[in-house]
Structure 1
Amino acid sequence: MEAIALRISAPVVVVARPHVTTAGLRHALGDCLLAAMFLLATLPAARELSFSLAGAANLVWLTGAAIMAVMSFARFAPRTSTVNLRTLAASGGMLILPCFMRPTNLSIGALATTGLIFELFAVALTQVARVYMGRSFGILPANRGIVTKGPFRWVRHPIYFGWLILSIGYAMSYPNERNIMLIAATLPFMVWRIDEEEAHLSADPEYRRYMDRVRYRFWPGLV
């Protein structure tokens, strides 16, 4: 009888290699740079913490900047984005200028109390808005999905408004010439940044419908 040989092949194990792309690396680098910027903003506040009303305002600023840094690592990659000198300048000016404020010339009385209230309101507003945004948080103009719930039902840019109010509250707690000038310089960059973002998002019909429903950028009935 002729012998029959059976050949049994060993199973082939295919190991998937991580898929690294230029876009992915660019997104990761952007996350790191953004987080580093917000962490640098906490350094002056961390050196000036104290058990006082102004010290509490400093702690609120530190907390808000630290949360922004952490959130920088939890973002969706955008569907589309606009990265050019205009968007980099507008975004950088809006975010970086307030980070140069310094905790000197402590305010007292009603001004200090109002500054702290502004900061607490701003942190609460921005964090609630971020909960509704989820991982759609971003800095440069990009489409990560249109968010229309929570604070976004009343205004189109609650996080930018919160960042502005947080900065104003900090300047009220530490009313020196440097801080006031930085707030004044931040405003045109913020308006420019919003214009760039809305120009980008307007390519999406869903966002155009959203703009028709929600007319105001910062505060219902005013701006």
Structure 2
Amino acid sequence: MDAIAARIPAPAAVPQSYVTVAGLRRALGDCVLAASFMLAMLPAGREINFTLAGVANAVWLTGAAIMAVMSFARFAPRSVSVNLRTLAASGGMLILPCLMRPIAPSTGALATAGLLFELLGIVITQVARVYMGRSFGILPANRGIVSKGPFRWIRHPIYFGWLILSIGYAMSFVSERNVLLIAATLPFMVCRINQEEAHLSADPDYRRYISMVPYRLLPGVV
């Protein structure tokens, strides 16, 4: 019996899967990020038709939908800064533009310019997303340093594209509410950029990157 037992292979180990607190926290973060982008798609007044205003709505919704989907394809960060200040800055920068409403559509040159701004914002944002790959995030974190594509000219092309897209939507639907929301977004964006760069400055690779790319949002300006 011992000889027979020796010839019988031992059963293969069954791989075990574990649900970790870190994994749950990351999944929750992905869901919250996706939900925040989907906020831009909720207002019922954003109708899609073949007018300039309708196309402007379609561009805005497309950009928000892409960013929501890509929220689920991210690397886990090497380090992340989570506190009330980073949550407030990230939330304000992202959510305030989503509170704009399509009231009183623009006409003529302003409507055309608004649509062009939106398209430019979509292109800049998504090209930067392609180069960033799965390193995308909202809270200040280190998911690796990206220095190719639009990151060769400015350090925060996704924020720049988001700002251009938001300004374009405000141009397409000019109202006091929309203009005030864009103005209120700027200080949150500046604060968010400062937080991210303070966090990443601990990485010598990022310090070298800053020395090569001096501009944050607009080449040759700032």
Secondary structure of 2:43's match? helix
The one-letter amino acid paired with 1:110 is A
Q: Establish whether residue 51 from structure 1 lines up as the match of residue 75 from structure 2.
A: no
Match for 1:6 among 3, 15, 32? 3
User: Within 5 Å, which residues of 2 pair with 1:119-134?
Assistant: 119-134=118-133
Q: In the aligned structure 2, how far is the partner of 1:76 from the partner of 1:144? A: 7
Q: Is 1:217 aligned to residue 216 of structure 2?
A: yes
- Amino acid corresponding to residue 3 of structure 2 in structure 1: L
In 2, Cα distance between equivalents of 1:152 and 1:205: 17
Aligned equivalent of 1:22: 21
The letter for the 2-side match of 1:6 is A
Q: Which residue of 2 aligns with 1:171?
A: 170
Cα distance in 1 between the residues matched to 2:11 and 2:28: 36
Gaps (5+ residues) in structure 1? none
Structure-to-structure mapping, 1:80-99, within 5 angstroms: 80-99=79-98
Secondary structure of the 2:90 match is helix
User: SS in structure 2 opposite 1:6?
Assistant: helix
CA distance in 2, matches of 1:16, 1:210: 42
User: Any idea what SS the aligned residue of 2:134 has?
Assistant: coil
Report if the CA contact (8 A) 1:45-1:59 is conserved: no
The 2-side partners of 1:10 and 1:154 are apart by 60
| Worse-matched range after superposition: 41-50 or 209-218 | 41-50
Amino acid at match of 2:179: I
Q: Which runs of 5+ in 2 are unaligned?
A: none
Q: 1:93 and 1:145, CA in 2 relative to 1: closer, same or farther beyond 3 A? A: same
**Does the 8 Å contact 1:81/1:140 carry over to 2?**
yes
Number of residue pairs aligned between Structure 1 and Structure 2: 220
3-state SS of 2:33 partner:
helix
The answer as to whether partners of 2:128 and 2:150 remain within 8 angstroms in 1 is: yes
Distance of 2:207 and 2:196 partners within structure 1:
12
SS of aligned partner of 1:151 = helix
What SS does the corresponding residue of 1:44 show, helix, strand or coil? coil
Cα drift, residue 46 of structure 1: 7.2
**Equivalent runs, 1:154-169 vs 2, <5 Å:** 154-169=153-168
Alpha carbons 1:45, 1:103 under 8 Å: kept: no
Q: Which amino acid aligns with 2:149?
A: G
Q: CA deviation at 1:49?
A: 1.5
**Per the alignment, in what secondary structure is the counterpart of residue 3 of structure 2?**
coil
CA contact (8 A) 1:107 1:173 kept: yes
Alignment RMSD, CA only? 1.3
Query: Which residue identity does 1:94 align to in structure 2?
Result: M
Letter in 2 for 1:107: S
Q: What is the aligned-residue identity percentage?
A: 73
TM-score, normalised via structure 2 length:
0.96
